[in-house]
Structure 1
Amino acid sequence: MAQAIITDSKLRLVFETGINEQGKPIHKSKTYSSVKQSATADQLFTVGQAIAGLCSYPLAEINRNDSFDIVG
């Protein structure tokens, strides 16, 4: 039976930096690598909110990007 083994985890914060000509928001993101793989969603949310508090743009999204190796 195949298994998914987590190899990397990243935290991505997406900020709204303005509005374009069509009135749609412009987003920019910042990715933080080497996130502890055992970090919970609540912990990442808390960290994301804390980092966003230091930024001048409003936070639009917090994403976790995990990479896996599939082994059989």
Structure 2
Amino acid sequence: MAQGYLKSSNLKIVFDYGVDEHNKPIFKAKTFNRISKDSTADELYSAATAIGSLSSEPIWAVERNDSYDIGE
């Protein structure tokens, strides 16, 4: 039976930069690689809010992206 092995994790913070001249939202993201695989959602959210406090733009979303190797 195949197994999934967690290979890496990334933390993505999406910032809200308002709207453009056509009233469409503008978002910009910052991705942090090599996040500890054992990090909890609370730890990542705390880190994201601490990083976000350094920006003049508000945080729109915080995402965790995991990559798995599939094998037996």
- Please indicate the TM-score interval, normalised by the length of the shorter structure: over 0.9
**Would you identify which runs of 4 or more consecutive aligned residues in structure 1 move more than 6 Å?**
none
Distance 1:60 1:48 in 2: 11
The alpha carbon displacement at 1:18 in A equals 2.3
Q: TM-score scaled by structure 2?
A: 0.94
Shift of 1:21: 2.4
Structure 2 unaligned regions, length at least 5 = none
Question: Where does residue 8 of structure 1 map in the other structure?
Answer: 8
Alignment partners' CA distance in 2, 1:58 and 1:69: 34
Whether 2:3 is the aligned partner of 1:28: answer no
Structure 1 gaps, min length 5 = none
Report Cα offsets for 1:21-64 as digits up to 9, x if no partner.
23221000000011000000111011101100011111000000
TM-score scaled to structure 1, two decimals?
Answer: 0.94
Secondary structure of the 1:13 match is strand
Q: How many residues align?
A: 72
Over the aligned positions, Cα root-mean-square deviation in angstroms equals 0.8
